Each structure stands twice: as C-alpha cells, then as structure tokens.
Amino acid sequence: MIGFIVGYREATFRELVKRVVDVILSPGTTPGPVIAALTPKTGPLAGGEISMTGSGLGRVLSVRAGSQEAEVVEGGDNQLIVRLPTAASAGVVPITVETKDGSVAAEYEYQ
C-alpha cells in the first residue's frame, strides 16, 4: 500500500524495504585493535612491564613477545600493561596483541 502511494512498483518497494531491514538488523563490524604507543620501546633481556595505549585492546585473548606468551597485568579498551617474558637474546621482537576483533603488533627491542 505504501509502495502504491509513493509510486513504486511492488518489486522495487520490496527491495527497498529489504535494504532498510538489512541495514537496521545487520551486525556491525567492530574495528580491530590499534596500538598507538608502546612504552618503553626497549628493555632488558630479563623482561619487565610495558604499557600499550591505543584502542580496541579490551577484548584481549593473548599477548606474545615474539613466540613467547606475555602476561597481561592490567587491561582496558585503551591501555594494556603487560609483563614480558625473559628473552634468549637481544634484538627486536614483535609484541602481538590478539583480540576477538583481530590482532595488531608493535616492535619492542630487548637489550
């Protein structure tokens, strides 16, 4: 009836209603995590704590320093405090944060 009043053909009107319902009922996509800053960017082989600031960090599943698991000490959507494991040797490793919405990495240097 509304389609008739507006002047649409029935098939065109149904397609328009379908699109509106799809937009309203479709699940939104959550953006993946972002690391804006890593503090400090370097540290001792014995590990230590680092702070990551960014967004989308609250749904963390795991944090890794290279291939080793790191411990999340404190977490929130905009900041994570992580205790890094002891490294076998000096060098740059990726600190990878895996969340339910994706993963992101930043570089950290063991000295």
What is the signed CA dihedral for 11, 13, 16, 21, rounded to 10 degrees?
-100
Task: List phi, psi (to 5°) of 19.
Answer: -65, -45
Residue 50: what pLDDT? 97
Residue 23: what pLDDT? 65
Residue 1: what pLDDT? 54
> Splitting the chain (111 residues) into consecutive groups of 10 residues, what average pLDDT does each group show?
58 73 66 94 95 93 96 94 96 96 95 95
Domains and CATH numbers, the chain: 1-29 (no CATH), 34-110 (2.60.40.10)
Residue 17: what pLDDT? 75
What's CA 9's distance to the chain center, in Å? 45
- The answer to whether the beta carbons of residues 15 and 21 sit under 8 Å apart is no
Can you say whether residue 7 is alpha, beta or left, with left for phi > 0 and alpha for psi between -120 and 50 degrees? Answer: left
Residue 83: what pLDDT? 97
Instruction: Note if the bond before 40 is cis, omega within 30 degrees.
Output: yes
Residue 103: what pLDDT? 94
Helical segments of the chain, H only? 2-6, 10-25
- Measured CA to CA, the distance from residue 96 to residue 49 in angstroms comes to 15
Residue 4: what pLDDT? 55
Joined together, the tokens standing for residue 94 give: 């990726």
- pTM exceeds cut of 0.85: no
